[in-house]
Amino acid sequence: MAHVILGLLLIAPQSLYGLVKAFEAGVSLFYSASSGSIKRALDGLLAQGLIEVASVDPSARGKKVYRVTDSGREEFRSWMTGELAGPDLETAALPRLFFLGLLAPAERAPLLRKVIARIESDLAVLLALARRLDSIEVPEDQRDVATHQLATLDYGIASHRLALDWFRGHLARLESPER
């Protein structure tokens, strides 16, 4: 979440309320967060020196507006261009896609290639599992349950194939001379 907040603050300095609204308006499509978790992440980013308070509203409410420091910019870029960590494809890839326009144009295609490599790797694991499961005899009393469990695996395979096609197409559009 910290990197998503850094990306949002790189787009524009914002208050906690503004960040909550930014999550609700678009980020929640790939990353959900409560106002409390956003506040905790902001506190951590402040403590690390990755963001700073840009201004404080002098009214009784004392609304703080946050902005990214130079260290925060370096951390964000390092995360964007680094290895794709995350328990699943969406967690690893979609935040980076969302903020891809914050990278220098020369850094965008290499990042998309990393995403494609991650999808290919994850898909290979799912396909190997499907092949292994095809050779297992399922007891009669478990076939109904197994049918739907295998459907879940089929969904994962289809989802990864779709993601692979989509990211390859996006990379092709990005590298297109007409762009």
The per-residue pLDDT for range 37-79, each reduced to its tens digit, is: 999 999 999 999 999 988 887 776 778 899 999 999 999 999 9
How far is Cα 73 from Cα 7, in angstroms, rounded to an integer? 9
pLDDT of residue 62: 74
SS3 state of residue 106: helix
Q: Which two tokens stand for residue 76?
A: 């964000």
H helices present in the chain, as ranges? 2-11, 16-25, 35-48, 70-81, 89-98, 105-134, 143-175
| pTM assigned to the model | 0.85
pLDDT of residue 56: 81
Tell me which residue has tokens 């590298």: 175
Residues 5/14, Cβ–Cβ less than 8 Å: no
Surface-to-core class of residue 70, CB atoms within 10 Å of its CB (0-12 exposed, 13-18 middle, 19+ buried): exposed
Q: Would you say residue 179 has pLDDT above 70?
A: no
Residues 7/75, Cβ–Cβ less than 8 Å: no
Q: At what angle do helices 105-134 and 89-98 cross, to 10 degrees?
A: 160
Least reliable range by pLDDT among 11-15, 32-36, 98-102, 108-112: 32-36
- Residue 92, φ and ψ in degrees, nearest 5: -80, -40
End-to-end CA distance of the chain: 32
pLDDT of residue 105: 94
pLDDT of residue 60: 62
Residues 96/118, Cβ–Cβ less than 8 Å: no
| Rounded percentage of the chain residues whose pLDDT exceeds 90 | 63
| Rounded percentage of the chain residues whose pLDDT exceeds 70 | 99
Average pLDDT over residues 13-18: 91
- In the chain, where are the structural domains located? 2-81, 95-175
Q: Assign domain 2-81 to a CATH class.
A: mainly alpha
How far is Cα 113 from Cα 167, in angstroms, rounded to an integer? 9
